[in-house]
Structure 1
């Protein structure tokens, strides 16, 4: 049975609201949760970008059961991997073992703010590999000195370690990232239901490990309102990783999506209150071999009715897949 998750979308709500949403998601019965880690929203109409790690710390204290996860943190540019390691074990302690550390090679949208430039994709993957190795070394609890091609660590040690370390998930988009995830990760993360990614991950050591996907939906009893909201806030989603990772800010995404029509969005994102439409969108992930799917409800002001609908109708239906 596929596990169904809830997404705390930091781009569409402020920090206090996000914590309230995750409390509601736990009450509604979602199996797990994920949290985006952004410095900018994709589009200005989303309107938010609080610090994800503060939100996660508050969420760990406000909830009791629901697992937490970054989806995803880039440990190479805006954050140094030694700092990410410290944040991850702290959150694991605060949540009493409910945290998973999702990592990826990042997007220019969020990482450009520190002024270090935006490396080519193959360089970003090299940086990610080195960062994961540093995090793993620090998780072992020893003093770490590292002088590599991209990072330096001087006599670092984590002093507060949980009994169970946070599992590390790695976001993938091609064979090389799948190889990295299979060798160094505990789970796969992807935003497309591609069986080739699952196969490559398993081929490189990921067999038997969880595979987590993500899917945006836009619940509203008024389907036209749902389509309009999805177009307003999520028309960037269809751009693909090669585009979405490169654009530097909301203005770029506005320009890149100026010809995307509401009907184009409605074809790729389930809109309205049709449970079967959401199940149909989740099914390709299940068929591709994903074990978990995190849903995004589009619209920060539309979480409460969505959570009530999910508890009554959506989650029971999806658990039959």
Structure 2
């Protein structure tokens, strides 16, 4: 069964607004809500960056049905992995079966301002792999002695943990971390709008390879993709709403070494709106919109989390719940 989620844009809205949107998303038929964990937003002006851990507890208390998780949190610099194991075990007890820990290797925008010397991708991957190993060990065992390259524990115990561990998903856009997700994770997270060849030619084969090494198939994992969508009956509005998130359209070369939201905002605002829109499915026709989303489902993704870029999120949730989700469920029933 394909599931459909709502992306609570922590970089764009206050924590109280996000809670209201989460409640509305549940009422509008979304199956899940995911929030990122940013220390700093992509833009300084009207930017937000609520801490994910306390927000998750509040969101779970305000809702009763939707699954809620992180897309994604970095358990390697600002947090010790054992703290994340403890926090999500607690959340799993508070709301059994409704919590997902999504992790990734991080972004310099969130870590360098706190004094982290930003390492090369090889080290970031190694840290993530070690952190995931430690988190899973703390959930499975008592009195954990762990001696890694980056983290260590001595007789550490997570005392309060649910009978069934919280599902752990790994977010990735390259083959190495994707293979790791296939081997050790319960789910895989990636984002849309990067060209179909990346998914069909690189990521999904790497995920299959990793799963095979662990004696698993893709049916054993939740394949989640954050789909960037801008749907509105007003074509100009649908197009221009994407500009708030123009930073997503910056190339790696353009944003490498940029850790200041003010500078990131300057670079993003210099882009034409046509370029910012390239990362999004922009449409005024619900059937056309659904057809473009369906391409990701046909690739094999089972859990689509929709990120609407506009300032009126209540409108987005209402329209999506009425016009898009029913069409998607009919096509995939």
Common fold: TM-score over 0.5: yes
The answer for the alignment partner of 1:119 in structure 2 is: 119
The answer for the alignment partner of 1:203 in structure 2 is: 209
Structure 1 position 230 matched with structure 2 position 242: yes
Structure 1 position 316 matched with structure 2 position 322: no
Structure 1 position 290 matched with structure 2 position 301: yes
Name the TM-score, length of structure 1 as normaliser.
Answer: 0.93
Going from structure 1 to structure 2, the CA distance change for 1:242 and 1:202 (only over 3 Å counts) comes to farther
Unaligned runs of 5+ in 2: none
Deviation at 1:258, TM superposition (A): 4.7
Going from structure 1 to structure 2, the CA distance change for 1:172 and 1:166 (only over 3 Å counts) comes to same
8 A contact 1:181–1:201 mirrored in 2: yes
Root-mean-square deviation over aligned CA pairs:
2.0
2:262 pairs with 251, 256, 259, which one? 251
Deviation at 1:150, TM superposition (A): 0.9
Q: Where does 1:40-119 land on structure 2 (aligned, <5 Å)?
A: 40-119=40-119
Going from structure 1 to structure 2, the CA distance change for 1:277 and 1:237 (only over 3 Å counts) comes to farther
Counterparts of 2:235 and 2:300 in 1: how far apart (Å)? 30
Deviation at 1:295, TM superposition (A): 0.3
Counterparts of 1:102 and 1:145 in 2: how far apart (Å)? 24
The answer for the alignment partner of 1:8 in structure 2 is: 8
The answer for the alignment partner of 2:280 in structure 1 is: 269
Unaligned runs of 5+ in 1: none
Give aligned pairs, total: 319
Deviation at 1:147, TM superposition (A): 2.3
Moved more, 84-93 or 265-274: 265-274
8 A contact 1:142–1:157 mirrored in 2: yes
The answer for the alignment partner of 2:230 in structure 1 is: 218
- SS of alignment partner, residue 64 of structure 1: coil
8 A contact 1:107–1:246 mirrored in 2: no
8 A contact 1:104–1:171 mirrored in 2: yes
8 A contact 1:77–1:114 mirrored in 2: no
8 A contact 2:138–2:144 mirrored in 1: yes
